[in-house]
Amino acid sequence: MEKKYWQSIEEYKEQNKGTDMNKEPFPEFSIEGLDESEIKGKSSRRDFLKMLGFSVSAVALVSSCQTPVRKAIPFLTQPEELVPGIPNFYASTFFDGNDYCSILVKTRENRPIKIEGNDMSPVSRGGTSARVQASVLNLYDDARLKNPYKDGAETDWATIDKDVKANLAALSQSGRKVVLLTSTIISPSTKKLIDEFIATYPNIEWITYDTLSFEAIRKAHELNFGQAVIPEYNFEKAKVVVGFSADYLGTWLDPVAFSKQFSKNRKILKGNTEMSRLYQYESRLSLTGSNADYRYGVKPSDEVTVLLNLYNEVAKATGMSTYSVNSSPVDVSKTALDLLENKGHSLVVSGTNNLNIQLIVNAINNILGNYGSTLCIDKPMNLKQGSESAMARIVNEMNEGKVDGLLLYNVNPVYDYHKANAFAEGMKKVDFTLSFADTKDETAELCQYIAPDNNYLESWNDAEPVKGEFSIVQPAIRPIFNTRQFQDCLMKWADISGDFSDYLENNWKVILGEDGFVSSWNKVKYDGVYSLPQDEMQGNSGFREQKLSDSESGNGLELVLYEKIAMGTGKYANNPWLLEMPDPITTATWDNYVCVPVKYAEQNGLVHENVVTINGAFELPVLVQPGQPEGTISIALGYGRTAVGKAGNGVGKNAFQLMHISDGYADVAGTEVTMEKVEGKTYELALTQMHHTMEGRPIARETTLQEYIKNPYAGNEEHLKDEKNNVTLYSKVDYDGIQWGMTIDLTSCTGCGNCIIACQAENNVPVIGKDQVRRRRIMHWMRIDRYFSDDIDNPVVFHMPVMCQHCDNAPCENVCPVAATNHSDEGLNQMAYNRCIGTRYCINNCPYKVRRFNWYEFANNNNFDYNMNSELGKLVLNPDVIVRQRGVVEKCSLCVQRLQAKKLEAKRENRPLRDGEVQTACSQSCPTDAIQFGNLKDEKSVVVSNNKEERMYHLLERLHTLPSTSYLTKIVNKEA
Amino acid sequence: MYNTRVRGVLIKGNKSFADVSRDIIKPMDDKTPMWWWVTAFLATGALFWGVWGFYNTISTGIGEWGLNNNVAWGWAIINFVWWIGIGHAGTAFSIFLLILRQKWRTSINRAAEAMTIFAVMAAGLFPLIHMGRIWDGFFIFPYWNTRGPLWDNFNSPLFWDVVAISTYLMASFVFWYMGMIPDFATIRERTTSKMKKKIYGILSFGWIGNARGWLRFETAALLLGGMAAPLVVSVHSIVSMDFSVSVVPGWHTTIFPPYFVIGAIFSGFGMVLTLMIILRKLYKFKDYVTDGHLDAIARILTFISLIMGTAYLTELFMAWYSGNEYELFTFMKNRVTGEYTFAYWTMLTCNAFIPQLFWFKKIRKNITIVFIISIFINIGMWFERYVIVVTSLSKDFLPATWATYEPTITEIAIFVGTLGLFLLGVLMFFRFVPTVAISEVKSVLKETTTLKSFTDE
């Protein structure tokens, strides 16, 4: 029989139709060129040799292919601006509804990997915050939505567009109410677009909702000045700042800008002996309180009394009428005297969202003549525009069934509204619900439609944080997923042609003028910021007196809710960097907890890690916190998310429902609660520091301004002694050209911890999870040591950033048996990871304990399921820095990759390095310029001039390690 | 000249040369006893647990241990130093007592040397498993390479450690093995089994007991002994430099080298005492390892214990006298008082106080009490290393970094595993090697006994 060859399965089947397979077995395989015996499976010597040849080559092939092949597809057409290995920076703006910051986005091979501050911004002035630094990781969050959703199932944009337009049109025609609920929007173009959108669908009501409202400040200014604004604060001009529960260096309003201003006023360098004085009255130990010269613990219910007493003192001195008031629990006369001495150069702020309090604050500022100098209502801040009454009304209307459509942009009220349940209930009665959330958050979960917004690094936008000060948002990457910018959605649904980048450009034509628009627009995009010409500031014109009133002190245990530096209001609760960032005050990571005053804890038998129930509603662990005022406890907001992503789900407890509501204003502090100990139950907290005093050792050195003026070496006498005693037989190492060095000014450092995250982003520092942090293995290359001293109920707090000190006489270097850590000829103490065998001797012998060991494989390990275990999350890694293997020691390299890049740049341009050109991640990000970096061999550099200060000392200099990093003593503006 | 009237009889029971050979080789000819199987089973179990500890550490990471950013050394280093200390007994016995012409050492030195080998082997495992990247451990050897060449850091005490310990292990092994050659020949001559004849024939290197052989043997022993003697001092001095070269308060002290050597000999003698009491009981070697032997060891321990006490006091004094606040804190607030009080006082009690009971003859004569005290010494010396390693690291210069340390199950498993390894080695030694140096005992038999056949001559 002639053999038939089949060429496809179909043909094979066709051929075999009707034939008996058993009778005429088809050969198992049929390959041209094989003879009979081979087909039948008999093997000959030739086969044997063939098999041998095949297996040998196969083994060789397989064994040489241990590394998995990764596909790298080159560009077909190389983009002009993209050079592999060279980063591109784009000016942009971070604004998430709460915090604003002008930034530069560093991209490598077209992916954003790092956020840096934009020096050109007159508002944020190159500073950043931890959340800004960490925001780049949100871009690569696995929890982000990859497609739009309809009724809980993925769909495409065409469906969304069709459905939404149909819904909106139907609702519009029948005149039924649709609510557009957004966070504060500071973009003039977006606002204009929303107005146009509403013009298309006039049944839409636009409500702005802030998680933490500042409405009382606006209302007070409306009553006092006729303008519902938040004035621009200027801490730089203020010689005396009195804060009432306003953590303006940590979380209040615009902490990046305020930190910058605050620090400018407190630089005791080059003979300057002028510095501002901070008074802080607060109901928990905040970051600002920890930096205040005078700090007073005050219960939330006493704040009015204290403020009114202060008002009376100030008013009395200026011959104005006073109010009758209860006696203040703390003495305010000194504060009043200082304020009066600095009329027009002082500032009183309160973070309490209470109309009466804000009216008193305004009245005091008015008497002191601060309007027009440290406060400016003509140039208000556009942040925090939310209206609480409107929000409350909408929730009611929703529950009454009066709202038929709900569009949610950048808000998550089901999680963070104090009446979250009412909101969620109300949502059920709304026919058409849509969320623009980029993750399936608590609110979006309840929506019919989710139209995921782009990440801000994928978006076009603009921002006007302060009137007349603009900042541009421009994309640094194309949308990674099938998402669409909120504004583009609105344009599509309102049938406005083009996309939002065109719209933005057209809008800017109005601002910049048609003439030469292309070049001016390019300049705006290049700089990232644009300022309108400023008018002269007006004085305190037309202040309308308002009646002020006192209130009674409470008797119960008062709860203070607060935003943690890292977590804020919980928007980034799935960001592992932020989850693992130690709180600057408690040093706790990964949880929220109840801060309990020391005395209360003693009286009630509470110790660290006990568990208590709050109002019988939820359980939280106890953290006994020095400085927590008597009669108060505090709990961080932003925890207890249930739908945020795998890292953040179920971390901590949600405390938003415990907000204090009075007169329609929701404030974080003042709710009276009951607290019960849960007997026999403990909960483990992961703190990065367990010992809180310096044991009398000269570590963080301190003096008062008065002492300093008398003797510049005050507080630093130890340094002179050690200098004298430091004798050595060996000749001092000398460097030729460059010796990198760093100075850290403890007077400026507020301890905000922004540098920790900047370092983590720059250097691919792994996240290790709560359990490992608790085992004291945190991998951060720099830490901020926090020490308490003096009174345990109102301690003096020191923040001290510590990273590798790059000792010239490094104890770690001479004990490494394999010379894996050694000294560069530019004074860097460097680590050769490839050489390290992990004896950990260097860790033991480092007196600063800044070396970190890779206890496990932290990347690509399911036990550490954070960004380094996700294909998406790994995109944030800096390609210039190796991801360290298990078993090697790592530590601060002074960002050697950044130094190298700038050196190359200077070399290419054939010039010496300029001072300040080279910045480490920490010094670049520092909002108070406490960390300075430069060349110790450059006589004109800032670090050299700082090192000439009498305040300069080295940490543990008695050990004669000769560090390249030095510290400047902390100067407190306090009378002895 | 050994005077039996003054110093008593060394080998009891009126033994002749033939008796000595028969007595000592007898356990090797006998059927393997039950206790041997039981103990070997337990030791193997322990060893396997240790293997699991190794596996877990290597496959998962050092993170499986209780160490942290501040206390980067823990049980592994403690146990390493402890085992090295125990490993001092053999050489100390053979060399020092030889130099001091202590004839009584002949009954004990073989076992002590065997102990040294197994202890050093157990110790050697710790620096290995302790490495973060054990697979790159060969970096520690200065081999010619293409990376520059990139050499080791000859300043590092860890590098000195590698050299010192490997030298010590090799020297001890050669010394121990060479001493056994005549005894292996004796077994070869006596045994009826062809197999054993073959094996022991090879092991004895064809020893025929001629005068030339003995001459060379003695010369070689002398030379090796002379070379090994400094090793006893050097090896633990260098181990101590792992600590004293650092800047850590409580480590950075010049007393460490002598203090460690003395401590090592102390723990070594303690362990010898423990083992010899078991050995003489099991093998009925009371004639060879007499009460007098135990008495002598006890006296030595009393003396060393006094030195140890002096060292502890010196440390405390220097902590105060130096005016170094970090040092003072470590000693006074973290050892004498504070979190690690228990470990510190256990160490002091076991090493400095309890051995002082040996001043009383009644206690020295009560073998049960002597045995218990020897165990206390072993425990005390373990705690000494624990105190040194953990207390110093846990609270050093910057209070913000202070951390505590607790071992994990993996670390415990590795320690128990090395105990199993040691025990298994000792059991093998008991079973297949003459536990007492036959030829050496014979060599001192004549002048240290009152046996008629000898004295009459």
Q: How confident is the model at residue A149 (pLDDT cuts 50, 70, 90)?
A: very high
Q: Is the distance from CB of B351 to CB of B275 less than 8 angstroms?
A: no
Phi then psi dihedrals of residue A658, to 5 deg: -95, 15
Quote the pLDDT of residue A1. Answer: 53
Between CA A544 and CA A376 the distance in angstroms is 16
Read off the pLDDT of residues A513-543 as tens digits, 9 standing for 90 and up.
888 889 999 999 999 999 888 766 555 567 8
Radius of gyration (C-alpha) of chain A in whole angstroms: 32
pLDDT at A924 > cutoff 70 = yes
Chain A contact for B156, CB < 8 A?
yes
Residue A438: DSSP 8-state: S
For A171-186, b where at least 16 C-beta lie within 10 A, e where not — what string? Answer: bbeeeebbbbbbbbbb
Tell me which residue of A420, A896, A915 sits closest to A658, measured CA to CA: A420
Between CA A689 and CA A784 the distance in angstroms is 10
How many CB pairs below 8 A link A and B?
Answer: 165
Q: CB distance A841–B242 less than 8 Å?
A: yes
Average pLDDT over residues A814-843: 91
Q: Which of A460-464, A867-871, B108-112 has the least mean pLDDT? A: B108-112
Read off the pLDDT of residues B2-36 as tens digits, 9 standing for 90 and up.
666 666 667 776 777 777 778 777 777 788 888 88
Alpha-carbon gap: B308 to the closest alpha carbon of chain A (Å): 26
Read off the pLDDT of residues A758-791 as tens digits, 9 standing for 90 and up.
999 999 999 999 999 999 999 999 999 999 988 8
Q: How confident is the model at residue A25 (pLDDT cuts 50, 70, 90)?
A: very low
Which CATH architecture best describes the domain A557-687? Beta Barrel (2.40)
Q: Which of B397, B404, B405, B406 to mutate to test the interface with A (most CBs of A within 10 A)?
A: B397
Nearest-by-CA chain A residue for B251? A845
Chain B contact for A857, CB < 8 A?
yes
| Cβ count within 10 A of residue B57 | 22
pLDDT at A168 > cutoff 70 = yes
Average pLDDT over residues A88-108: 91
Determine the residue type at B445.
L
**Percentage of chain A with pLDDT > 70?**
94
pLDDT at A361 > cutoff 70 = yes
Q: Return the SS3 of B400.
A: helix
Task: Indicate if the alpha-carbon torsion angle B348, B354, B360, B364 is positive or negative.
Answer: negative
Q: How confident is the model at residue A451 (pLDDT cuts 50, 70, 90)?
A: very high
Q: How confident is the model at residue A26 (pLDDT cuts 50, 70, 90)?
A: very low
Q: Which residues contact A598 (CB under 8 A, 6 or more apart)?
A: A624, A625, A626, A628, A792, A793
| Mean pLDDT of all residues belonging to chain A | 88
pLDDT at A967 > cutoff 50 = yes
Domain ranges for chain A:
9-63, 216-381, 557-687, 702-725+743-972
Read off the pLDDT of residues A306-325 as tens digits, 9 standing for 90 and up.
999 999 888 888 888 888 88
Residue B433: DSSP 8-state: S
Quote the pLDDT of residue A31. Answer: 47
* ipTM of this complex: 0.90
Tokens of residue B98, six digits = 């030889």
Cα→Cα distances B71→A170, A172, A203, A391, A510, Å: 69, 68, 66, 54, 64
Alpha-carbon gap: A801 to the closest alpha carbon of chain B (Å): 11
Q: Is the distance from CB of A121 to CB of A528 less than 8 angstroms?
A: yes
Q: Work out whether strand A632-636 and strand A557-562 pair parallel, antiparallel, or are unpaired.
A: parallel
Query: Which of A786, A839, A852 is opposite residue B131, by nearest beta carbon?
Result: A839
Between CA A571 and CA A416 the distance in angstroms is 9
Between CA A764 and CA A859 the distance in angstroms is 10
Q: Which of A839, A842, A961 to mutate to test the interface with B (most CBs of B within 10 A)?
A: A839
Q: Which of B136, B322, B398, B405 to mutate to test the interface with A (most CBs of A within 10 A)?
A: B398
Q: CB distance A836–B67 less than 8 Å?
A: no
Three state DSSP letters for A8-68: CHHHHHHHHCCCCCCCCCCCCCCCCCCCHHHHHCCCCHHHHHHHHHHHHHHHHHHHCCCCC
Read off the pLDDT of residues A801-813 as tens digits, 9 standing for 90 and up.
999 999 999 999 9
| Cβ count within 10 A of residue A119 | 13
Tell me which residue of A366, A347, A389 sits closest to A216, measured CA to CA: A389
Quote the pLDDT of residue A18. Answer: 52
Chain A contact for B451, CB < 8 A?
no
Chain A contact for B327, CB < 8 A?
no
| Interhelix angle B34-60/B409-432, nearest 10 degrees | 140
Q: CB distance A835–B131 less than 8 Å?
A: no
Boundaries of domain holding B361 = 4-455
Quote the pLDDT of residue A842. Answer: 93
Give the H/E segment covering residue B224: helix B211-244
Which CATH architecture best describes the domain A702-725+743-972? 2-Layer Sandwich (3.30)
Quote the pLDDT of residue A888. Answer: 93
Counting the structural domains of chain B, the total is: 1
Quote the pLDDT of residue A29. Answer: 46
Quote the pLDDT of residue B367. Answer: 87
Tell me which residue of A537, A397, A374, A398 sits closest to A467, measured CA to CA: A537
pLDDT at A40 > cutoff 70 = no
Q: Which of B59, B401, B404 to mutate to test the interface with A (most CBs of A within 10 A)?
A: B401
Read off the pLDDT of residues A222-259 as tens digits, 9 standing for 90 and up.
888 888 889 989 888 899 999 999 999 999 988 999 99
Q: CB distance B400–A783 less than 8 Å?
A: yes
For B294-318, b where at least 16 C-beta lie within 10 A, e where not — what string? Answer: bbbbbebbeebbebbbebbeebeeb
Between CA A943 and CA B448 the distance in angstroms is 80
CATH number at residue B411: 1.20.1630.10
Q: Is the distance from CB of B192 to CB of B200 less than 8 angstroms?
A: no
Q: Which residues contact B323 (CB under 8 A, 6 or more apart)?
A: none
Quote the pLDDT of residue A28. Answer: 45
Alpha-carbon gap: B144 to the closest alpha carbon of chain A (Å): 14
- Within A64-156, residue ranges assigned H as helices are 130-139
Give the H/E segment covering residue B6: helix B4-7
Give the H/E segment covering residue B304: helix B291-321
Between CA A271 and CA A269 the distance in angstroms is 6
Beta-carbon-side half-sphere exposure of residue B290 (alpha carbons within 13 Å): 18
pLDDT at A845 > cutoff 90 = yes
pLDDT at A17 > cutoff 50 = yes
Q: Return the SS3 of B70.
A: coil
Residues of A in contact with B152 (CB under 8 A): 817-819
Instruction: Tell me the pTM.
Output: 0.88
Beta bridge partners of A279: A242, A294
Q: Return the SS3 of A584.
A: coil
Give the H/E segment covering residue A377: strand A375-381
Beta bridge partners of A621: A611
Quote the pLDDT of residue A539. Answer: 56
Q: Work out whether strand A403-409 and strand A432-435 pair parallel, antiparallel, or are unpaired.
A: parallel
Q: Is the distance from CB of A935 to CB of A917 less than 8 angstroms?
A: no
> Which residues numbered 271-300 in B keep a CB inside 8 Å of some CB on A?
none
Quote the pLDDT of residue B169. Answer: 84
**Spans of chain B below 50 pLDDT:** 455-457
Q: Is the distance from CB of A453 to CB of A409 less than 8 angstroms?
A: yes
Q: How confident is the model at residue A30 (pLDDT cuts 50, 70, 90)?
A: very low
Which CATH architecture best describes the domain A216-381? 3-Layer(aba) Sandwich (3.40)
Tell me which residue of A944, A921, A943 sits closest to A932, measured CA to CA: A943
Beta-carbon-side half-sphere exposure of residue A622 (alpha carbons within 13 Å): 28
Alpha-carbon gap: A484 to the closest alpha carbon of chain B (Å): 43
Between CA B321 and CA B256 the distance in angstroms is 17
Q: CB distance B67–A855 less than 8 Å?
A: yes
Chain A contact for B322, CB < 8 A?
no
Between CA A522 and CA B445 the distance in angstroms is 105
Tell me which residue of A893, A881, A751 sits closest to A292, measured CA to CA: A751
Task: Indicate if the alpha-carbon torsion angle A519, A523, A529, A530 is positive or negative.
Answer: negative
Residue count of chain B:
457
Read off the pLDDT of residues A594-641 as tens digits, 9 standing for 90 and up.
999 999 999 999 999 999 999 888 899 999 999 999 999 999 999 999
Quote the pLDDT of residue B453. Answer: 52
